[in-house]
Amino acid sequence: MSLPRCRVCDRSDLELILDLGRTALANRFLTPEMAAEHEPIYPLRLVRCDGCGLVQIDETVPPEELFGHYLYLSQTSDLVKLHAEHLAQHFTERYGLVPSDLILEVASNDGTVLQPFRSRGYRVLGVEPAANIAEMARDVGIETECAFFSLATAQRLRKTNGPARLVLARHVLAHVADLHGLVQGLEHILAPNGLVAVEVPHLLPFHRNLEYDTVYHEHLCYFSVGVIETLFAQHGLELIDVEEAPIHGGSVVVTAQRRSGPNFARSSVEEILYQEEDAGLHRADAWADFAARAEESRDRLNGEIAVLLERGKRLAGYGAAAKGMTLLAYCGIDARRVPYIVDKSPLKQGRFTPGHRIPVYESEYLVHDRPDVVLLLAWNFADEIVAQQAEYRKVGGRFLLPLPEPHYWGEARRAAMVRM
């Protein structure tokens, strides 16, 4: 469904930033039986609201089609586990949580982020719409409600579980078409001294580091802290803290409370708002530059791959991540150039990528096959992946990172192009 108006302020003056073409759904990996089927494709266009500054896509795919049966698992990333431990320690120490407090997570996935809270003795409850993933969370002892979070869900859960002292909403705000309904639900389920911690990929590193591959149909919106402040204020919530996090290419954890709540706002809020203003995130010319850099980066990556193939080098990909599917589609990279991709997730192994039908194997296959170069599609986990693939590197393997410009891991960017 095409979007005629901004999802935050309802204005209609949406300006095109970047047209990524018509693409398949980035997490709809195909079984061998599905590989012969016709795939649904949708326009993927990044636009900006000239009113509130929200960067968003102008197409909404029904959430049931995106999230009913999901293939992303938090547990496959060591970085996510470390980040979850940090969140539990941070909120425990800064805000004095006690064991009787309810910690609720919206879009809780397999329960990985709630585990450190549970191990500290808190009551935890996950809300996860994907039935297969919710069942995995229950299997490891995380009570999980299988539902999309909304005001109606919040009303029901408050009646059965009481109010929440802390509501976590990690990397879900971008996935929701009805932002106002979600925020109303967050406000409703809060205890009087409750906190909402929303984690989103931050628009500042998105713009600075040219993270156009973060754009796919699940990600409807791309947030600055300024836009979150505007959205939350409409529903009686005020920001009190912002913490930057390196996860997922550069994120922010934005903490809020009910207006006039017990906590004073920290200086971090004003500091990040100043940085966003200084970077020009609300100016059209900054986004015109972003589009030009994206086209240049795409052309340089395609040129690098062409040179490798001309020299007889063999390529593979690492990371069957949704962001990688956007990059493959925008750059026109198919199985003739990257004949397979490896990934740690057992849910994606044995399937084919959406759009280009590239097979996905287990990550150990790299050492067996020994391709000369691996295109690192999950570049946001580069250090973790390279460390895991030490054996592949010992036999001469190299990792090519595509953004913000193509470069090899461990080598200077401009000087790192093909010397093989």
Q: Is residue 14 part of a domain?
A: no
Beta-sheet pairing, 315-318 with 221-222? unpaired
Residues 226 and 321 in one domain: no
Q: Could you tell me the two tokens for 323?
A: 């962001």
Q: Of 279, 304, 329, which residue sits at a domain end?
A: 279
Q: Tell me the CA distances in angstroms from 277 to 53, 247, 281, one per residue in order.
A: 11, 23, 6
Beta-sheet pairing, 407-408 with 41-49? unpaired
Residues 301 and 264 in one domain: no
Residues 196 and 301 in one domain: no
Residues 199 and 242 in one domain: yes
Q: What is the pLDDT along the chain (420 residues), one digit of tens a residue?
A: 577 899 999 999 899 999 999 999 998 999 998 877 888 999 999 999 999 999 999 999 887 677 655 555 555 567 788 888 999 999 999 999 999 999 999 999 889 999 999 999 999 999 998 888 899 999 999 999 999 899 999 999 999 999 999 999 998 999 888 999 999 999 999 999 999 999 999 999 999 999 999 999 989 999 999 999 999 999 999 999 999 987 767 899 999 999 989 999 999 999 999 999 999 998 999 999 999 999 999 999 999 999 999 999 999 999 999 999 999 999 999 999 999 999 988 889 999 999 999 999 999 999 999 999 999 999 988 998 999 999 999 989 999 999 999 999 988 655 445 544
> Model's pTM, two decimal places?
0.87
Q: Could you tell me the two tokens for 305?
A: 């791959």
Q: Tell me the CA distances in angstroms from 311 to 303, 359, 372, one per residue in order.
A: 13, 24, 11
- The Cβ-side half-sphere exposure at 404, using a 13 Å CA radius, reads 12
Q: Which residue type sits at 186? A: L
Q: Of 239, 261, 279, which residue sits at a domain end?
A: 279
Q: How many domains is the chain partitioned into structurally? A: 2
CA 298 to chain CA mean position, Å: 21
What length does the chain have? 420
| CATH code: domain of residue 148 | 3.40.50.150
45-78 pLDDT, tens digit each: 999 999 999 999 999 988 767 765 555 555 556 7
The Cα–Cα gap between 37 and 32 comes to: 10
37's CB contacts (< 8 A; 6+ apart) are: 30
Domain residues for the domain of 246 are 74-279
Q: Of 279, 299, 331, which residue sits at a domain end?
A: 279
DSSP letters of 322-380? HHHHHHHHHHT--TTTS--EEES-TTTTT-B-TTT--BEEETTHHHHH--SEEEES-GG
Q: Are 59 and 42 in contact (CB under 8 A)?
A: yes
Q: Tell me the CA distances in angstroms from 316 to 24, 146, 281, 390, one per residue in order.
A: 21, 37, 35, 16
For residue 419, the model assigns a pLDDT of 47
Q: Are 375 and 356 in contact (CB under 8 A)?
A: no
